[in-house]
Every structure is written in C-alpha cells, then in structure tokens.
Amino acid sequence: MSYSNTVGTGALAPQWTNLMYNHTPADDIYTYQKTNGDITSGTSGMSISYLASQNGNNGNSAGGFIQGHAPGMFHISFTLGYQWGYSSIYVSDVRATANNAPSSSTYQTSGFNGLQFVNNSSNNHMQIRKHINTTTTLVWDVTGKVEATLYNLWRESDGTVKFRVQGSNPYDCGVMTGDWCFYTLAQSPCKVGLIKAANINQGPS
C-alpha cells in the first residue's frame, strides 16, 4: 500500500492528524478531549488532546501524527498512558516516513536521527531510546510512569536535543539534526495526551 506523509510540511500544532487505523474507523477508538484540570501539581489549566485506544489487550487501535514538522528548534509536551499496551511517541525524520506508513522501527532508519518514548503497565517499563545515524541507544529505562507524568522534549539553537521526565533533571541527547515529525503507534489499551507542539524561532536578544 502506498503512503503519503502529508504532515511533513507546515508548522507544528498540538493536534492529531493523519490517523492510522487497523480497522474501520470508529468513534470509540479516537477520543478527542479538552480538559482544564490539574494534570500535575502546579500545572493547572492545560488543554490536552487525547488519542486513545481502549479495546482490550491487543484490540482495535488507532495511531496518528502530531500536525506539522520541526526542521529546527521546537518544543513538545505530552503524557503517556500507564496501561497494558505501550503508549508511545516516536520522533522520525520526515524523509523516513515519506513513502511508507511508520512502524515502531522507523525512527531507527539508517542515515537519520530519531527517538522513541514508550510506557506501559504490563512490562512496567518507561523507556526512551535515541537513534543517531546507525546506532540506537537505550538512554532511559525505569519503572513505568503513571499517566499524569509530564514529558517535555525540545531542540535548542545549536541542535542539541533534550528531554525532561517530570521529577527528573533534563537529559542531554547531544546534537541531533533532521527535519522531524512526531507520531504515536497504538497497542490497545493505551492513551497519549498532547499538550504542546510548537516550532521556535530565535529572535534578537
């Protein structure tokens, strides 16, 4: 099946697009919500867009892209569900997803850079991997995190990519270039919450 990544252009925006179903689309798979409660202590009034698949272990599911792409500086904020299936965010070069529907290994495409964030309760793991050119490294492996945990990922002006898991210090992934897109692949039951997705332009000091 041919595939066209139409989200590889335009500015980042905190909404899901290019949904990918493994079945006929159904309203109970894609759950879009806006909430304004406290997600974590001290962070109130957030709007969260959820992409959730709640159809039993390995049941029907749906993934999707965060709208837009990031050739330079960016900042995204998200949550990962703590459920039986893996809740995930993948970061991949736009060119690696241009002609084929992304998989859990697309972020590892040779010659490109990428990242993987996964969390679940069945294995009770929260893991983060980085891929640079041809090498994939597990950089974070801890006990699964509750759904309210906040994740921030950003790229700075010198190309350095960093992430921060709530309650921990920022982690420096090093310089990671690429025109990036962001997506989730679902393994029911799972849930990913999108809070922020924005490109950053550095203006005069």
Find out whether 116 and 85 touch, Cβ atoms under 8 Å: no
Residues in Cβ contact with 180 at an 8 Å cutoff, skipping those fewer than 6 apart: 69, 70, 71, 74, 91, 92, 93, 94, 114
Structure-token pair, residue 117? 């964030």
Residue-wise pLDDT for 6-53, tens only, equals: 666 799 999 888 888 887 776 556 556 655 555 444 445 567 888 888
In this predicted structure, the answer to whether residue 193 has a pLDDT above a threshold of 80 is yes
Q: What is the pLDDT of residue 84?
A: 97
Q: What is the pLDDT of residue 29?
A: 60
CA distance 133 to 191: 30
In this predicted structure, the answer to whether residue 63 has a pLDDT above a threshold of 50 is yes
Tokens 């959730």, residue located: 52
Mean pLDDT, all residues of the chain: 87
Structure-token pair, residue 147? 């759904």
Q: pLDDT: is 148 or 205 the higher one? A: 148
Q: What is the pLDDT of residue 1?
A: 40
In this predicted structure, the answer to whether residue 171 has a pLDDT above a threshold of 60 is yes
β-pair partners for 112: 133
CA distance 64 to 67: 9
**CA 28-34-38 angle, 5° bins:** 120
The pTM for the full model equals 0.89
In this predicted structure, the answer to whether residue 99 has a pLDDT above a threshold of 70 is yes
In this predicted structure, the answer to whether residue 100 has a pLDDT above a threshold of 60 is yes
- Strand 125-133 and strand 112-120: the pairing is antiparallel
Structure-token pair, residue 144? 């699964």
**Structural domains for the chain:** 13-199 (2.60.120.920)
